[in-house]
């Protein structure tokens, strides 16, 4: 019963935070609510036994992308005072699209035959991923790291502006 309550609490945290992120008129509140949505998803990964996805969610999404987004919002002058002029444009098509998508998902949930299996034991997945990266996939892993290094060097060269005399 405990994991079920924990799952529903994390799902509620993720859904409410995502709704605040999407519907808030203040970009600072949206940026901080995004933290709750990403943290709720990370907690669900823990319950699923997906330890690698949990760590990636924390390091990359919360630790990297969200922190950069919050810094960008905080360092932009007067971003909290910006008024968006066309708030009412597209509300009706968005509601129709969301209603149709929600109806299709609800129909699929109700009319699907769900397979019930006994829960297995949670085993760590990081060992097998690390073993694969250092075994049969070592060459693609190293090629990907070289491509990312070249992209980083290219971004530095492009963004660097030299003063020419």
Q: Are 14 and 44 in contact (CB under 8 A)?
A: yes
Rounded to whole angstroms, how far apart are CA atoms 32 and 105? 29
- For 17-38, what is each residue's pLDDT tens digit? 998 988 887 888 888 899 999 9
Query: Which is higher by pLDDT, 12 or 123?
Result: 12
Res 146: pLDDT: 93
Residue 133 shares a structural domain with residue 66:
no
Has residue 96 been placed in a domain?
A: no
Residue 72 shares a structural domain with residue 8:
yes
Has residue 95 been placed in a domain?
A: no
Rounded to whole angstroms, how far apart are CA atoms 129 and 161? 41
Q: Are 17 and 36 in contact (CB under 8 A)?
A: yes
The domain boundary residue, chosen from 80, 95, 111: 80
Res 163: pLDDT: 47
Res 78: pLDDT: 67
Has residue 118 been placed in a domain?
A: no
Domain that holds residue 4: 1-80
Query: Which is higher by pLDDT, 44 or 80?
Result: 44
Rounded to whole angstroms, how far apart are CA atoms 41 and 37? 6
Has residue 7 been placed in a domain?
A: yes
pTM for this model (two decimals): 0.64
Has residue 105 been placed in a domain?
A: no
Residue 73 shares a structural domain with residue 148:
no
Rounded to whole angstroms, how far apart are CA atoms 159 and 165? 19
The domain boundary residue, chosen from 19, 51, 80: 80
Task: List the structure tokens of 54.
Answer: 């949990």
Find the mean pLDDT for residues 57-69.
87
Count structural domains, the chain.
2
- Asked if residue 115 has pLDDT above 50, the reply is yes
Burial class (CB in 10 A: 0-12, 13-18, 19+), 11: middle
- Asked if residue 9 has pLDDT above 70, the reply is yes
Has residue 107 been placed in a domain?
A: no
Residue 11 shares a structural domain with residue 75:
yes
Has residue 120 been placed in a domain?
A: no
CATH of the domain at 65: 1.20.120.1200
The domain boundary residue, chosen from 80, 114, 135: 80
């Amino acid at each position: 019963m405990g994991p079920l309550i924990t799952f529903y609490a994390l799902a509620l945290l993720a859904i409410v935070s995502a709704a605040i992120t999407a519907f808030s008129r203040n970009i600072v509140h949206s940026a901080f609510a995004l933290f709750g949505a990403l943290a709720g998803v990370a907690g669900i990964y823990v319950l699923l036994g997906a330890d690698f996805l949990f760590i990636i969610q924390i390091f990359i999404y919360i630790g990297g992308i969200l922190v950069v987004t919050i810094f960008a919002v905080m360092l932009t002058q007067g971003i909290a005072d910006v008024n968006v002029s066309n708030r009412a444009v597209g509300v009706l098509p968005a509601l129709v699209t969301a209603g149709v998508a929600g109806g299709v998902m609800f129909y699929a949930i109700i009319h699907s035959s769900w397979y019930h299996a006994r829960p297995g034991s949670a085993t760590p997945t990081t060992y097998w991923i690390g073993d694969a990266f250092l075994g049969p996939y070592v060459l693609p892993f190293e090629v990907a790291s070289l491509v990312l290094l070249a992209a980083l060097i290219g971004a530095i060269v492009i963004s660097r502006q030299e003063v020419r005399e």
